[in-house]
Structure 1
Amino acid sequence: MTALRSRVAETARVYRLHPPRVSLGRVVATPGALDVVRDHGVDLPGLLRRHASGDWGDVCAADAQANDLAADPACPARLLSAYDTAGGRLWVLTEADRSATTVLLPSEY
């Protein structure tokens, strides 16, 4: 098993243990993100579950802390997760009002 597959399997095990922390609202994806998902077999529902459960992926410590604060309903703010996939990095952004979540490439921001 490759290191990436091992890491994905462990992450999958962990996020199944944690209920969603935030509502995703309407989920949309950009054409570039959909190309990566299709061309590289990315588990998009899995990434969305990770994001919703508070696994922010490959963000810096400051962004992870900001997400943890923003996940609290008392002070909602936009959430950003970043996941390195076989097709490159994907971002998952949830709006502060939790009306929508967008999956996109960093270059599409």
Structure 2
Amino acid sequence: MNVPSTHHTGPRFKLGRILATPGALEVIADARVSIVDLLIKHLRGDWGDLSDSDRQQNEQAIVAGQRIVSSYVLANRQTVWLVTEADRSATTFLLSGDY
């Protein structure tokens, strides 16, 4: 079954301040991934490696002003999370152990 893409070409919400834990920065650098590319994916609604229910929760969170979470498995098999706070004051890159 083909599910239509919910990815958009423009921003879907405000990011606020961009923050990152040292561990997340190290994993991203080791994977040779652009932190900007990950931010753009998150901002456009490409939630990465999330369940369908978590994806739906993000869609509702955009409208309801709740926390938005994305998860990306990088080429080095490490997972980086992006969390945009409910008040849109900040978006943070972190590892699961950083939370």
Answer whether TM exceeds 0.5 for this pair.
yes
Give unpaired runs (5+ residues) of structure 1: 1-13
How many aligned residue pairs are there? 93
TM-score where L is the length of structure 2: 0.88
Give the Cα separation in 2 of the matches to 1:17 and 1:104: 24
Q: CA, structure 1 residues 17+71, in 2 after alignment: closer, same or farther (shift >3 Å)?
A: closer
From 75, 87, 97, the counterpart of 1:97: 87
In the TM superposition, what is the alpha-carbon distance from 1:64 to its structure 2 partner? Answer: 0.4
Spell out, residue by residue over 1:28-49, the C-alpha distance to the aligned partner (whole angstroms, 9 max, x if none): 0000001012222111101100
Work out whether 1:28 is the aligned partner of 2:25. no
Unaligned runs of 5+ in 2: none
What RMSD in Å do the two structures reach over aligned CA positions? 1.6
Give % identity.
46
| Separation of aligned partners in 1, 2:43 and 2:66 | 14
2:71 aligned residue:
82
Instruction: Give the ranges of 4+ consecutive aligned residues of structure 1 lying more than 6 Å apart after TM superposition.
Output: none
Distance 1:28 1:65 in 2: 25
Deviation larger for 36-45 or 18-27: 36-45
- Alignment partners' CA distance in 1, 2:8 and 2:55: 19
SS in 2 for 1:71: helix
Q: In structure 1, what is the Cα distance between the partners aligned to 2:24 and 2:38?
A: 12
* TM-score relative to the length of structure 1: 0.80
- Larger helix share, 1 or 2: 1
- Is the contact made by 2:8 and 2:45 (CA closer than 8 Å) also made in structure 1? no
State the 1:90 CA deviation.
0.4
Summarize deviations over 1:39-84 as a string: whole Å, max 9, x none: 2211110110010111111011111000001111xx1100000001
Written as runs of structure 1 = structure 2, the 5 A alignment for 1:47-62 is 47-62=38-53
